[in-house]
């Protein structure tokens, strides 16, 4: 068991940290206030070859391991959750799903340009009446000759107005319930497709989130991902990757809360001494540090299993649940440490608190993950090998 990062991973962390310090932190307060997502950030990440960090070199990526992806997500969320979310969706939910389930033709057409950052990928599963209950989706895909005709709506879709390609889930046979769901690669330019951003969000205001609409969208059969009826399996495997990146990002949010709070603890004085000298403030700082270290261990263990090509649903679920809860608590404590100033946007901690709530909800609510972990322990839930797994990463 080795807890050391490779020199390449340390270099990667420093590269992303410098990028965040230069390209995101000077502007994020304005972007958050405006509700503005800057697409140029993704272009600059592509210039650093980070939009395909863990995608094999043969498909245009950097060929680094899954914990390298975790490092990227952690450092990006230290800047803002919006940009970690963009990478989570592009790589975790879309590109890794194409790598796992796509045909060679689909990988060449969609995965390669995405790994290079020339195209952006997103993921369409959630609907107005279908969140945790995936089988409740109502979007349909009806076979018509060599095409499928898609009709329906998706909501809370990250990169809704930015992405070029979407992995979309729809019923091809409603009578089979979740076994009748299939997955499709949908292009923005396909007639009948449209999107609309959602405004007025509590947090992640600098992110692009919204709805997708499918009005008789004709999708060629070559864009069926996997086989008919495999959509539910594909969605669950995609969530294993998405949840991994969300958990890693939560570590970055805890880190941001710690950095801001430690700085303020040395600046602010009460009762004749720095507030960091007060034991109850120290308790909050200590809890943040404990949450950060425990979360990282859970994330990197899940990444270890991914590197080995092993099923990691249980471990990733636990990492996502715990890291997001720790981040939410860290952000709450960071506001408390800052006192009244923490309640204004003069300091970043109020943004951290707003941003920390969404990850507790999306990609499996804390309640869903609580049930999953209990069912694993009680023996009610057991993971079966998937027909396709992500390729193992081998250290060179």
Taking residues 307-324, what's their average pLDDT? 96
Give the pLDDT score at 384: 84
CB count in 10 Å sphere of residue 262: 15
CB count in 10 Å sphere of residue 203: 21
Q: Do residues 154 and 144 touch, judged by C-beta distance below 8 A?
A: no
Closest CA to 302 of 26, 29, 36, 70: 70
Give the pLDDT score at 394: 62
Task: Flag whether pLDDT at 348 surpasses 70.
Answer: yes
Mean pLDDT over the full length of the chain: 96
Q: Do residues 297 and 324 touch, judged by C-beta distance below 8 A?
A: no
Q: For the chain, which domains are there?
A: 7-120 (1.10.540.10), 122-231 (2.40.110.10), 235-378 (1.20.140.10)
Closest CA to 229 of 305, 174, 299: 174
Q: Check residues 143 and 395 and name the one with the higher pLDDT.
A: 143
pLDDT band at 387; cut points 50, 70, 90: confident
Residue 350 annotated to the active site: no
Give the pLDDT score at 386: 77
Give the pLDDT score at 391: 83
Q: Which of 74, 77, 230, 363 is catalytic?
A: 363
CA 96 – CA 70 distance, rounded (Å): 14
Taking residues 161-190, what's their average pLDDT? 97
Task: Flag whether pLDDT at 48 surpasses 70.
Answer: yes
Name beta bridge partners: 270.
273
Name beta bridge partners: 124.
168
Is 280 exposed, middle or buried, given 0-12, 13-18 or 19+ CB atoms closer than 10 A? exposed
Taking residues 41-56, what's their average pLDDT? 97
Q: Do residues 168 and 183 touch, judged by C-beta distance below 8 A?
A: yes
Give the pLDDT score at 396: 45
Taking residues 63-78, what's their average pLDDT? 97
Task: Flag whether pLDDT at 395 surpasses 70.
Answer: no
pLDDT in tens, 226-253: 999 999 999 999 999 999 999 999 999 9
Distance of CA 374 to the CA centre of its chain: 24
Residues 233-252, buried b or exposed e (16+ Cβ, 10 A)?
bbbebbbbbbbbbbbbbbbb
Q: Do residues 37 and 27 touch, judged by C-beta distance below 8 A?
A: no
Tell whether the torsion through CA atoms of 357, 360, 363 and 368 is positive or negative. Answer: negative
Assigned token pair, 141: 């895909």
Q: Strand, coil or helix: what is 183?
A: strand
């Amino acid at each position: 068991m080795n807890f050391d990062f490779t020199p390449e991973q340390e270099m990667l962390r420093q590269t992303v940290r410098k990028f965040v310090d230069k390209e995101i932190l000077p502007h994020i307060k304005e972007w958050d206030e405006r509700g503005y997502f800057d697409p140029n950030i993704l272009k600059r990440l592509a210039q650093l070859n980070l939009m395909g960090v863990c995608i094999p070199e043969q498909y245009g990526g950097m060929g680094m391991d899954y914990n390298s992806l975790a490092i990227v997500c952690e450092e990006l969320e230290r800047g803002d959750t919006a940009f970690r979310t963009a990478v989570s969706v592009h790589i975790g939910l879309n590109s890794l799903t194409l790598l796992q389930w796509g045909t060679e033709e689909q990988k060449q057409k969609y995965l390669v340009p995405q790994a290079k950052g020339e195209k952006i990928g997103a993921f369409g599963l959630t609907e107005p009446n279908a969140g945790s209950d995936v089988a409740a989706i109502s979007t349909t895909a009806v076979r018509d000759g060599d095409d499928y005709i898609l009709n329906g709506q998706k909501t809370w879709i990250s990169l809704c107005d930015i992405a070029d390609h979407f992995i979309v889930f729809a019923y091809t046979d409603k009578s089979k319930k979740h076994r009748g769901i299939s997955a499709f690669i949908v292009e923005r330019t396909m007639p009948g497709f449209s999107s609309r951003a959602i405004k007025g969000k509590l947090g992640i205001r600098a992110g692009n989130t919204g709805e997708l609409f499918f009005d008789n969208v004709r999708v060629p059969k070559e864009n069926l991902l996997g086989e008919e009826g495999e959509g539910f399996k594909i969605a669950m495997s995609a969530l294993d990757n998405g949840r991994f990146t969300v958990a890693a990002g939560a570590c970055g949010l805890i880190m941001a809360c710690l950095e801001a709070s430690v700085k303020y603890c040395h600046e602010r004085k009460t009762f004749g001494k720095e507030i960091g000298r007060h034991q109850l403030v120290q308790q909050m700082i200590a809890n943040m540090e404990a949450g950060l270290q425990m979360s990282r261990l859970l994330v990197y263990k899940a990444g270890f299993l991914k590197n080995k090509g092993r099923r990691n649903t249980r471990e990733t679920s636990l990492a996502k649940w715990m890291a997001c809860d720790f981040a939410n608590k860290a952000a709450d404590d960071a506001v408390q440490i800052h006192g009244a100033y923490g309640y204004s946007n003069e300091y970043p901690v109020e943004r951290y608190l707003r941003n920390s709530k969404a990850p507790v909800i999306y990609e499996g609510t804390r309640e869903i993950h609580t049930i999953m972990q209990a069912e694993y322990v009680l023996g009610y839930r057991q993971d079966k090998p998937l027909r396709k797994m992500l390729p193992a990463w081998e250290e060179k």
